[in-house]
Each structure stands twice: as structure tokens, then as C-alpha cells.
Amino acid sequence: MSRLIRFELYKLCTSIPAMLFIAALLLYLMPSVFSEEEANVRAKYAAWEGPATAETFKKIHDRANKINDENYDLSGQPDSVVSFENKAFAHLFNIEEAQILKAQGLETLTNGLAKSGFEERDRALHTSLLEQINLDTIQYHIPAEKAVTFTTQAGVAVLLFPLLLLIAFIYSKERVSGVDQYQLPAVNGRTKLLTAKLLAGSIFLTGISLVVHLGILCLAWYRFGTIDWSAPMQVMEGLTNSPYPFSIGQYWLVSFGYQTFVLIVLGIWVLAISFFVKTAIHAILWSSILMGVPLLYQFVISGTFFPETKVFEQGILFFPSRALLTGEVFKTYQTINLGIPLLLPAAILLVQVIVTLIVLKVLYQTSRKRQVV
């Protein structure tokens, strides 16, 4: 079995598209994640580091109103100086917004009517999570935010999807051409060959996910030196209402594990498609639909073809390609009622595990029927 796995890994890792992807990835990461302006923004941000009090934010607002007044005297300073300060203010205002949303959330939960059963347990869980979030300090977090934002938003999904299409192309081409019919059939058979492909694909995708995350980390260290990862994740753009008491660094580690698992699930589904289609083109087409439609839902499809309801917006996250965007999965407090409140990220994984087990059962049953001897 180990020889088969190594052989399947060799095919994936030495393919020309894979090599081109890795080269393009390295060229893409440097300019897209970090800008040369960051040092100037940091200088403006540093002036406000310390306790995140109401008095501090009042001074920030006063300063922001002053420099953006049309009558403000730049005193010979270029417009870019004001631009750098405004960028710093945008990040500082995220901290204030997160404080306000946390206070409002706790007040609503505390003043709500006491109820029994699921609603009471759900409220207790939500309150417990919010109380653990610490937003009392202003600390420079922009480099950490940029690194994490890149790997938790659409950027990472767009980079990883070509590799999944590569897997679909390679495996479907083998099956259609009949190559898999004589790859060591007397010793291993189709079932072991299928197992080798599943394991090799999972190892390959895990390795690529690790390369992407470590690549971003190394670039961040190279560009900024030592980075503070301890700021709460709520200071990040789009996550000010998140209930999870993670630091940015903890959120990144959780996101890496979550994305890697979801990526493996997606790889298994793509391999299943390539196992049943008649041509490599069909494998690429159906795999593209599986990955692309959920990913494009928010940007292209939602307002035109489907109702914008909470149920539908939750449901679309259960597709693996959408669940890769952990910035959306962990964005707000959402639970599923299973008698006890099950947090949305856990519910998504549970559903994907169940569906994947069904897919694997169908794959192996079909493989045994096609067994070569």
C-alpha cells in the first residue's frame, strides 16, 4: 500500500500544472498580502496604543474629524500622511465597534426573558463566549490581520481550486483511458488502488494547505519582523461581531485545521466525481460546479436567483468550497438546534463527515463491482 501511495503522490507532485501553481503562488503572495505603506501606518497607529477606554476613542474621533476637515492645514505635509492616519483610524475603529457590539450583546442576553430548554442553554453558551472576549487594550495588530485575512477569505480558495481540478483531471483521465485497470491489479486490485488515491490526495492537499499558511507566515516575518498575534480576533475587519474568544493567532491555527479538513472533504468529493464521469472534461465541469456555485453565491447568484434568508445563507456554508472561507463561518453567533446548541462551525463539519462517509461507501461498493483480477 505504501508503494501505491508514494506512486500516486509522485504523479500529483510532479505534474506540470502543480509546479506552475506553486511558482505562481509564490509570485502572487508577496505583493498581494503586504504593502510598502505598512510602516507609515504603524507609526500613526502606535500613538494610540494602550488602554482601549472611552476617553481614548473620543480623542481618536476628535483627531479623525480634525484631519478630515476641509479647512485643516496640512502645513506642507503631503496628502499621503493623512491617508496613512486614516488607515490607522479604520483599524482602531474596529476595536471600538467590537466593544459596542459585545456590550449590546451581553445586555440583550441579560435582559432577555428567562426560558427553559434549548433557548436557555443557547443563551448561556452565547453569554459565556462573549464574557471571555478581552477588548481592553489597543495593540498593533495590522500585519497579523493581513496574514490571517488572506488565508480565511476568498483568496485562499481561488488558489486551491486549480489543484482540485488537477486531481479531477488526472484521476478521471486514468479511469477513462483504462490505465487504472492494469496498475498492479493482480496484487492490489481496484479497492486498494482507490484507497491509495484517496490517501495520496488527502496528503497532497494537506501539504499544499500547510505550504500556503507557512508561506504567508514567513512572508509576514520577513516583511515586519516579530508580529504580535495576541490581539482578539474581533479587531479584524468583518469579525467585530464574532462571539469566539480567540486571539488572532489562535483563530489562525483553528482556521488552518478547519480549512485543511474541509479541503480533504472537498478532495474526496472531487475524486468521487472523477470516478463516475465518462470524460476528463466532464470531471472538470462537474467539479467546477461543485466548487464554484457555492463560492460565487454571495457575489453573483444570491440576490438574483435565491432569497436572502438566514436559513439559505447558513445552508450555503455547508458546502465545502464555501466552508473554506472561515471568515464567514466564524463571523457571527449561529447555532443548530439538536436538543443542545451546536455551534455552526461544528455543525458544518458534522454534516460534511456524514456526507463524506456516504460518498466513500458508494465509491468502495462501486469499486468492488469493478474489481479486476
What is the DSSP code string of 308-333? --HHHHHHHTTSHHHHT-HHHHTSS-
Q: Dig out the grid coordinates for 78 from the structure.
A: 503631503
Return the number of other C-beta atoms located less than 10 Å from residue 273's C-beta.
Answer: 21
Q: Dig out the grid coordinates for 209 from the structure.
A: 494547505
Return the number of other C-beta atoms located less than 10 Å from residue 229's C-beta.
Answer: 19
Q: Provide the b/e sequence for 22-31 (b: ≥16 CB within 10 Å).
A: beebeeebee
Q: Dig out the grid coordinates for 164 from the structure.
A: 482540485
Please state, in angstroms and rounded to a whole number, the distance separating the CA atoms of residues 368 and 34: 51
pLDDT digits (tens, 9 = 90+) for 283-336: 778 877 877 777 776 566 555 555 555 666 777 888 888 888 888 899 989 888
Those residues with Cβ within 8 angstroms of residue 213's Cβ, 6 or more apart along the chain or in another chain: 151, 252, 256
Rg of the chain, C-alpha, whole Å: 24
The separation between CA 98 and the C-alpha centre of its own chain, rounded to angstroms, equals: 21
Return the number of other C-beta atoms located less than 10 Å from residue 79's C-beta.
Answer: 8
Q: List the domain boundaries for the chain.
A: 2-34+140-369
**Residue found under cell 502572487:** 28
Please state, in angstroms and rounded to a whole number, the distance separating the CA atoms of residues 254 and 346: 12
Give, for 193, the enclosing helix (H) or strand (E). Answer: helix 189-224
**Residue found under cell 480558495:** 157
Q: For residue 155, which of 255, 87, 305, 241 has the smallest C-alpha distance?
A: 255
Those residues with Cβ within 8 angstroms of residue 21's Cβ, 6 or more apart along the chain or in another chain: 159, 162, 163, 166
What pTM, to 2 d.p., does this model score? Answer: 0.83
Please state, in angstroms and rounded to a whole number, the distance separating the CA atoms of residues 158 and 58: 40
Q: What is the dihedral of CA 140, 146, 149, 150, to 10 degrees?
A: -160
Please state, in angstroms and rounded to a whole number, the distance separating the CA atoms of residues 169 and 270: 10
pLDDT digits (tens, 9 = 90+) for 173-187: 665 555 555 444 544
Q: Dig out the grid coordinates for 113 from the structure.
A: 426573558
- What is the identity of the amino acid at 86? N
Please state, in angstroms and rounded to a whole number, the distance separating the CA atoms of residues 236 and 230: 12
Mean predicted lDDT score pLDDT of the chain: 78
Q: For residue 363, which of 270, 279, 251 has the smallest C-alpha distance?
A: 270
Q: For residue 265, which of 156, 355, 183 has the smallest C-alpha distance?
A: 355
Please state, in angstroms and rounded to a whole number, the distance separating the CA atoms of residues 31 and 14: 27
Helix (H, G, I), strand (E, B) or coil at 141: coil
**Is the sign of the CA dihedral 281, 283, 286, 292 positive or negative?**
negative
Q: Contact at 8 Å (CB) between 165 and 369? A: no
pLDDT tens-place values along the chain, 373 residues long: 677 677 666 666 666 666 666 666 656 655 555 555 676 788 888 888 889 899 999 998 988 888 777 776 666 566 667 788 888 888 899 999 999 999 999 988 888 765 678 888 888 899 999 999 999 998 888 888 888 888 887 656 666 666 666 666 666 666 555 555 544 454 446 677 778 888 888 888 888 888 878 877 887 787 777 788 989 999 998 899 999 999 999 999 999 999 999 989 988 888 888 888 777 787 778 877 877 777 776 566 555 555 555 666 777 888 888 888 888 899 989 888 888 889 999 999 999 999 999 999 988 888 776 544 3
Strand partners, 337: 341
Q: For residue 161, which of 352, 309, 325, 359 has the smallest C-alpha distance?
A: 325
Those residues with Cβ within 8 angstroms of residue 353's Cβ, 6 or more apart along the chain or in another chain: 265
- What is the identity of the amino acid at 146? K
